[in-house]
Amino acid sequence: MLVLGEAVNAETLPSPPCLLCLTTVFAGRSDPAYLYEVLGEAVKAGATTLNITDTVGYCLPHEFLVRLVLCCCHMACTAMRLLLWKYLEV
């Protein structure tokens, strides 16, 4: 959980107006549930770009494609929850 805390803290640091980016380096061998949690928290903290990479080549291309599709599905749900929360907050 240390990495998750550091990712969220880094995303919420004051900065000049710019896009915030989170890069997952070993997404191919990360636990999917933890990957989704880190990505979701980064989005909640204001990340505008998520780089999901398999820099060590752990997955075969078709395996990593499945992982990317699942990440996109999960992030779509996270984005919908954020939009709904912002709508209900008003």
pTM for this structure? 0.66
Q: Which of 73, 70, 75 is nearest to 38 (CA)?
A: 75
Mean pLDDT (10-residue bins), the chain, 90 residues: 56 55 84 87 81 86 87 78 61
Looking at residue 10, its pLDDT comes to 55
Looking at residue 5, its pLDDT comes to 61
Looking at residue 71, its pLDDT comes to 84
> What ranges do the domains of the chain cover?
2-89
Q: Which of 28, 30, 38 is nearest to 62 (CA)?
A: 28
Looking at residue 90, its pLDDT comes to 47
User: What sign for the dihedral angle of Cα 74, 80, 82, 84?
Assistant: negative
Please state, in angstroms and rounded to a whole number, the distance separating the CA atoms of residues 48 and 42. 9
